[in-house]
Amino acid sequence: MPTPLIAPSLLSADFARLAEEAEAVRGADWLHVDVMDNHFVPNLTVGLPVVQALRRATDLPLDCHLMIDNPDRWASGFAEAGARNVTVHAEAAADAAELARTLRAAGALAGLAIKPGTPLEPYLELLQGYDTLLVMTVEPGFGGQEFRAEVLPKVREARRRVESGHLRLFIEVDGGVNADTIVQAAEAGADVFVAGSAVYGADDPAAAVEALRERARAFSG
Ligand code: DX5
Ligand code: ZN
């Protein structure tokens, strides 16, 4: 199993102090930025100008999760802004294969996200052009929801495909990840763990990141 990566989600941070909140988790692997447009999900967060400012404010690799309609039009800007990984939703992309090529050409890893109710099967071939699969473990839109273990068979299946050499992917889980649920996700084969409230709701966010990493490491396949 690959080394687990921990990606704190700024959605649970103080939006008036984003640079300090990034600094508070400097031992993390990726910094997860939830971009929401109030169309694809019923919530509105930050957009490209904030990601550009964050890029200047931190050395942490930015993991941009675009919960937006028409990512075909908007996603490349985040890659050009210097994001390490840009994830678009399979349910929103018109031409996901072309989008992956565009993101990679702009220097980012290309990520494809699927909501809890979206099956993995129809996207398996398409994922050959991607670097990251994000399996949502809550309905996208809000932090602080309960982890949905029933989606873990998709993580297991993706891990099987990676192990057999059919796919090369980071397998990321997002939503409801905490010190308990990270164990189930790691056992299922995830290797990137997004955590919002479990990190920024803790008294010591840096220690919370370390604790999550230790738990994931101990229980990885
Ligand atoms: C939800 C976002 C998540 C969110 C997770 O739509 O994609 O990244 O920040 O928050 P927690 O870890 O609190 O469930
Ligand atoms: Zn997210």
Kindly give the distance from the C-alpha atom of residue 45 to the centroid of ligand 1, in angstroms, as a whole number.
12
Q: Name the pLDDT band for 79 (thresholds 50, 70, 90).
A: very high
List pLDDT tens digits, range 9-51: 999 999 999 999 999 999 999 999 999 999 999 999 999 999 9
- CA torsion angle 82 87 18 212 (round to 10): -120
Kindly give the distance from the C-alpha atom of residue 15 to the centroid of ligand 1, in angstroms, as a whole number.
15
Q: Which atom of ligand 1 is nearest to the CA of 196?
A: 12
Which backbone phi and psi does 123 adopt, to 5 degrees? -105, 0
Q: Clarify whether 59 is annotated catalytic.
A: no
Q: Is 45 touching ligand 1 by the criterion CB < 6 Å?
A: no
Strand-strand pairing, 31-36 and 62-67:
parallel
List pLDDT tens digits, range 160-214: 999 999 999 999 999 999 999 999 999 999 999 999 999 999 999 999 999 999 9
Residue 2 predicted with pLDDT over 80:
no
| 50: number of Cβ within 10 Å | 17
Q: Clarify whether 34 is annotated catalytic.
A: yes
- CA torsion angle 58 194 44 85 (round to 10): 60
- Per the prediction, the chain carries an average pLDDT of 98
Catalytic: which of 29, 63, 131, 174?
174
Kindly give the distance from the C-alpha atom of residue 163 to the centroid of ligand 2, in angstroms, as a whole number.
25
CA 194 to each of CA 171, 174, 185, 199, 218: distance values in angstroms, whole numbers, following the listed order:
11, 5, 11, 9, 17
Catalytic: which of 34, 37, 63, 131?
34
Q: Is 68 touching ligand 1 by the criterion CB < 6 Å?
A: no
Predicted local distance difference test score (pLDDT) of residue 16 = 98
Q: Is 141 touching ligand 1 by the criterion CB < 6 Å?
A: yes
Predicted local distance difference test score (pLDDT) of residue 144 = 98
